[in-house]
Structure 1
Amino acid sequence: MLTTLSLFAILAAAAIPAGVHLGFRAPRLREIGTPADAGLDFEAVRIPTVRRRSLFGWLIPAADSTRTLVVLHGWGGNAELMLPLASPFQQAGFNVLLFDARNHGESDADTFSSLPRFAEDLGMAIAWLKRHHPGRAGCVAVLGHSVGAGAALFEASRNPDIAAVISIAAFAHPARVTKASVRHLHLPAPIVYGVIRYVEWLIGHRFDSIAPMNTVTRISCPVLLVHGRADRVVPVDDARLIHAHSSGTHVGLLEIDGADHDSVDRIEDHVGALLGFLEHQCALAVPAPG
């Protein structure tokens, strides 16, 4: 006969997978506009990624530019939400490639979304750019927001084609995010532990291996961590923790007063600092003409 504790364990084991897939499913927000609405010329593209899926994206060219900024949105976002940041970079002479991760925007669906899958898609977007637009890939920098920022840091820790990273509102460790997201449910600690272990099994990575506070220690290219001091989703302390774990002076931290998690307008006010960072890194990565 089953004890009460054994029955509880069986029910928990059955409920955790269903709860994870339902509770952590990324909402899909499709684009309703295009870069043309911001006065930008663009090419709509499809980028092949892993598992025979493809990604939707926009390539916004800058005349005769060998520098490209690849932009990755956050959880439940899409390329259109990142457009306000694309315009000033394009005007400054950077090609800009924006794309939707799987299960987001107009990209193909897949079984689930995760930070590693965001990173896979980012890597495939960079590979596509180098293959189909080699003249624009002399210096490839990446800008990611939230989960996209964590993915950018993870990909930069293993991809030598990335010359620089701008990370906006990255969390320090996925376990901290997971615990915060279920705190309102008042789950017993063993259930929360089970959720974390199930997600690790599902995505094929231990959280410690993909946590930005750890991947940043494996990145050799320059990194600029950008975070709003008023972020109510990912506290600015996460950025400080990532910065504290970084090794070397190639990782900088820019804190923005009054910026919440999705305050793109506040980030735009400091785009000069972001541009200065990329201008310097790409000047080092790409030899000057002549």
Structure 2
Amino acid sequence: MKTSRILGTVTPLLLTAGTLAAAEKLYTYAFKRINYIPDASDYMQKYASLYYSHVDWVQARPDLDVWELTTPDNAHISALWIPHPHSKKAVIVGHGYKGTGITMSNYAHMFYNLGFNVLMPDDRGHGDSDGDYISFGWLDRLDYLDWIQHIITKLGDDSEILLFGTSMGGATVSLVAGEPTLPRQVKAIVADCSYTSLDDELSYLIRKLFHLPRNPLVPMASFINYRRLGYPFKVVDVTKALTHNRRPLFVIHGSADDYVPTWMAQKNYAASTGPKDLWIVPGAIHAESYWIDPGRYQQRVSDFITPYFK
């Protein structure tokens, strides 16, 4: 065999092997669980003192409880529960990428002050919940349906439930909103800085962070995810899920968000068919909207959800 023919045969194999290795590295970087909470960015460190005051408030509560469930695929999932006396209202607070329930303490405190019982799950691949990989809301959406049933069992059939989340948590509650079996007790959804789809978000980030094109890394990483978790990236489509949502939806996003770009909020908002509102917070970067003005944030959320709760 001539040398040119040998090179013509071997070179595509080497390129494929190298690309597959790069896709595996990308997948491990983005999806593999870590057993610690990453530090906030230098910019967000200015809110650290206020953030930890909310964490202390949650952890010091004598009525703080741990809820657990075992999923149909035999995963152990954990959540923190803060009961509110004499209230039938409850909120499930979805955390962001590589966070945990406790990292949402500021929102938990806010909703408790608004009269809600609060559930703060650790999603799969995070905190005290099982999972070697992060599912970016897709498997978590089914776990949230189970959490909703737990709340209804706890508070009764006349309970009223709000779904709230930031970043990946916003995507998760939006995916839940598109489920056909969503119980009637769920009255509204608030999604802060959610992405439109897993494919969109990964494609955006590899361009921004690594200056690489979508192809072939994202499709190959999707194939790896299919082999590991049982589904391709294309099914994790938040915008598509919201086309099936009829419940009130409040979309919040920072105008300076360069991690999940603002156009994603606008696309998700447009997709939902029920009552809705969109708040683009001037100057806010990713997940900063609350911290810029906590009082205004609480008021805007309260103004939107109050008509849908008794």
Report the TM range for the smaller structure's normalisation: 0.7 to 0.9
1:97-156 per-residue CA deviation (whole Å, 9 max, x = no partner) reads 112112212x2331311121222332222222223x133861111101111111111111
Deviations 1:229-285 (A, max 9, x none): 12121111110111123334x1221111222213231362311111222221122xx
Among 51, 71, 88, the residue aligned to 2:93: 71
C-alpha contact 2:284 2:292 (8 A) present in aligned 1: yes
Deviations 1:6-50 (A, max 9, x none): 3322443455345413443243336x9986635655322132142
How many Å separate the matches in 2 of 1:33 and 1:267?
Answer: 16
Unaligned runs of 5+ in 1: 284-290
Aligned residues of 1:47 and 1:125 also touching (Cα < 8 A): no
Answering whether residue 201 of structure 2 is matched by residue 177 of structure 1, we say yes
- Give the equivalent residue in structure 2 for 1:25: 32
| Matches for 1:22-171 after TM superposition, within 5 Å | 22-29=29-36, 37=57, 40-50=61-71, 51-105=73-127, 107-114=128-135, 115-131=137-153, 133-135=154-156, 138-158=159-179, 159-161=181-183, 162-171=186-195
Q: 1:244 to 1:66 in 2, by over 3 A?
A: same
Query: Which runs of structure 2 are paired with 1:152-231 in the superposition (5 Å)?
Result: 152-158=173-179, 159-161=181-183, 162-183=186-207, 184-187=209-212, 189-200=215-226, 202-231=228-257
User: Which residue matches 1:259?
Assistant: 284
Give the secondary-structure state (helix, strand or coil) at the position aligned to 2:246. Answer: coil
User: What is the CA–CA distance in structure 1 between the aligned matches of 2:10 and 2:211, rounded to whole Å?
Assistant: 23
Q: Percent sequence identity over matched residues?
A: 22
* Number of positions where the alignment pairs a residue of Structure 1 with one of Structure 2: 280
**Matches of 1:119 and 1:100 in 2, distance apart?**
12
> 1:88 & 1:34 partners in 2: Cα distance?
9
Q: Report the equivalent of 1:287.
A: none
Q: Is the 8 A contact 1:47 1:124 kept in 2?
A: no
Q: Structure 1 length normalisation: TM-score?
A: 0.85
Q: Which sits farther off after the overlay, 7-16 or 170-179?
A: 7-16
Report if the CA contact (8 A) 1:140-1:164 is conserved. Answer: yes
Unaligned runs of 5+ in 2: 1-5, 38-51
Matched with 1:286 is none
Distance apart, 1:227 and its partner CA: 0.8
Give the aligned residue type for 2:241: T
Q: Is residue 72–residue 122 contact of structure 1 (8 Å, CA) maintained in 2?
A: no
Contact 1:169–1:226 (CA under 8 A) maintained in structure 2: yes
| 1:277 aligned partner | 304
Distance 1:137 1:56 in 2: 25
Report if the CA contact (8 A) 2:123-2:140 is conserved. Answer: yes
In structure 2, the CA distance between the partners of 1:251 and 1:154, relative to structure 1 (3 Å rule), is same
Q: In the alignment, which residue of structure 1 is the partner of 2:42?
A: none
**Aligned-residue offset at 1:166:** 0.6
TM-score, normalising length: structure 2: 0.80
Bigger mean CA offset, 4-13 vs 161-170:
4-13
Q: Deviations over 1:140-197 (max 9, x none)?
A: 1110111111111111111422221110110112212111232244446233332234
Q: CA, structure 1 residues 42+99, in 2 after alignment: closer, same or farther (shift >3 Å)?
A: farther
Larger Rg: 2
Q: Which amino acid aligns with 1:171?
A: Y
State the match for 2:265 in structure 1.
239
Q: 2: CA distance between counterparts of 1:89 and 1:174?
A: 28
Task: Return the letter of the residue paired with 2:230.
Answer: G
